């Protein structure tokens, strides 16, 4: 009897051990309404920063920059659009406020911030004209602002025109002035001007850097501008006819540099239609009409006398 009791006790201990192991291996699912056990999660992926300019000369033409809520911070979630003659492409700035386009062609393109009615900000620029270059990424920092007016900009950018009203065939001169009001150097500055339809290119020059022209786009490569330094770009264009009617056009220049946001300046002119083929009524026309009437009266008098 004593041996049997010992065996029973051994079996009982083994069963208890098995029950304890089972309770450790199989834990019950959380009851309804009970929070599940917290589990470790992977950190969110960080945004890939734009490429460093000049780091890869084999890149296709690309365009990137920051979208900056002027006076506050980089602005994420801003829709940026590039467009050509018959195409367009959109990108949205990431969590750090950067946008990026790649594999662009070498044609002239227009760059815009697309602001919807629900956005709290407005775009500082419109139709920035650029020509991306292979191996040299184009950087354009785009500004947006809140409120009625933007805060003062760090660089003065203005445009003057030689005449507000011209006729077809007249030459018109645009003088574009840039001044660095920052306490630091600005680098890789360039000024672009995409001449609107109705203006034919004649010449362009700059007192700082060099000027290129192709396909109606003037590009003045100003380079680096020291604090307080100024540059002037002069563009001469020819007013062209437009179906014999007077019309208005706006010329727009854009200033790009790497330290802050792009700026723009505009000038508007009116092209007054020239003669349409009809004889004008002038001071000379009145005596000629009077002479014709006198000749007619004289001829009628001669007919009566004969």
Q: Is residue 45 part of a domain?
A: no
Confidence (pLDDT) at 280: 33
The pLDDT tens digits of the residues spanning 131-170 come to: 987 666 789 999 999 988 899 999 999 999 999 999 999 9
| Tokens coding 279 | 């004889």
Burial of 144 (0-12, 13-18, 19+ CB in 10 A): buried
Per residue, the 3-state secondary structure of 3-36, as one string, reads HHHHHHHHHHHHHHHHHHHHHHHCCCCCCCCCCC
Q: Is residue 215 part of a domain?
A: yes
Confidence (pLDDT) at 71: 85
Q: Is residue 35 part of a domain?
A: no
Confidence (pLDDT) at 51: 52
Low-confidence ranges of the chain (pLDDT < 70): 1-60, 134-136, 243-244, 274-306
Q: Is residue 166 part of a domain?
A: yes
Q: Is residue 305 part of a domain?
A: no
Same domain, 136 and 93: yes
Same domain, 121 and 196: no
Distance CA 135, CA 117 (A): 37
Q: Is residue 34 part of a domain?
A: no
Residue 73 belongs to domain with CATH number: 2.60.40.1120
Distance CA 248, CA 262 (A): 26
Q: Is residue 287 part of a domain?
A: no
Residues 211/220, Cβ–Cβ less than 8 Å: yes
Confidence (pLDDT) at 139: 92
Same domain, 95 and 114: yes
Confidence (pLDDT) at 232: 98
Same domain, 141 and 161: no
Confidence (pLDDT) at 58: 53
Confidence (pLDDT) at 276: 39
Same domain, 118 and 162: no
Same domain, 193 and 121: no
Give the E-state strand segments of 136-295 in sequence order: 138-139, 142-145, 155-161, 165-166, 171-180, 186-194, 199-206, 210-214, 217-225, 230-239, 247-256, 263-271
Same domain, 207 and 141: no
Confidence (pTM): 0.71
Residue 227 has φ and ψ, to the nearest 5°, of -55, 130
Identify the domain boundary among 98, 117, 145.
145
Distance CA 15, CA 231 (A): 93
Confidence (pLDDT) at 216: 94
Residue 230 belongs to domain with CATH number: 2.60.40.1510
DSSP structure class, residue 133: B
Same domain, 176 and 117: no
Same domain, 161 and 244: yes
Same domain, 92 and 161: no
Same domain, 140 and 160: no
Q: What is the radius of gyration, based on Cα positions, of the chain?
A: 37
Q: How many helices (H) and strands (E) does the chain have?
A: 2, 20
The total number of structural domains in the chain stands at: 2
Torsion of CA 85, 90, 91, 97, to 10 degrees: 80
Q: How far apart, in Å, are the Cα atoms of 223 and each of 41, 190, 210, 229, 251?
A: 48, 7, 9, 12, 23
Range of the domain at 126: 63-145
């Amino acid at each position: 009897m004593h041996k049997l009791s010992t065996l029973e006790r051994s079996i009982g201990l083994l069963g208890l051990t098995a029950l304890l192991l089972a309770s450790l291996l199989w834990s019950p699912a959380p009851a309804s309404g009970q929070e599940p056990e917290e589990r470790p999660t992977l950190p969110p992926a960080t945004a890939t920063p734009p490429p460093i300019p000049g780091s890869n000369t084999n890149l296709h033409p690309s365009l990137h920059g920051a979208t900056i809520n002027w006076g506050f911070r980089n602005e994420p979630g801003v829709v940026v659009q590039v467009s050509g003659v018959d195409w367009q492409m959109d990108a949205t700035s990431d969590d750090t406020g950067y946008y990026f386009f790649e594999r662009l062609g070498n044609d002239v393109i227009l760059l815009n911030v697309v602001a919807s009615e629900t956005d709290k900000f407005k775009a500082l620029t419109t139709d920035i004209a650029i020509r991306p270059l292979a191996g040299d990424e184009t950087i354009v920092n785009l500004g947006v602002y809140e409120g009625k007016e933007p805060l003062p900009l760090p660089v003065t950018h203005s445009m003057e025109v030689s005449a507000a009203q011209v006729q077809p065939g007249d030459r018109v001169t645009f003088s574009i002035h840039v001044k660095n009001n920052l306490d630091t150097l600005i680098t890789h500055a360039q000024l672009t001007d995409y001449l609107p339809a109705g203006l034919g290119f004649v010449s362009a020059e700059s007192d700082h850097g060099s000027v290129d022209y192709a396909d109606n786009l003037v590009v003045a490569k100003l380079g680096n501008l020291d604090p307080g330094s100024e540059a002037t770009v002069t563009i001469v264009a020819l007013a062209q006819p437009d179906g014999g009617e007077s019309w208005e056009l706006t010329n727009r220049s854009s200033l790009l540099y790497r330290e802050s946001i792009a700026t723009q300046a505009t000038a508007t002119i009116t092209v007054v239609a020239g003669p349409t083929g009809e004889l004008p009524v002038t001071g000379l026309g009145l005596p000629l009409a009077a002479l014709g009437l006198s000749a007619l009266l004289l001829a009628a008098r001669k007919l009566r006398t004969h």
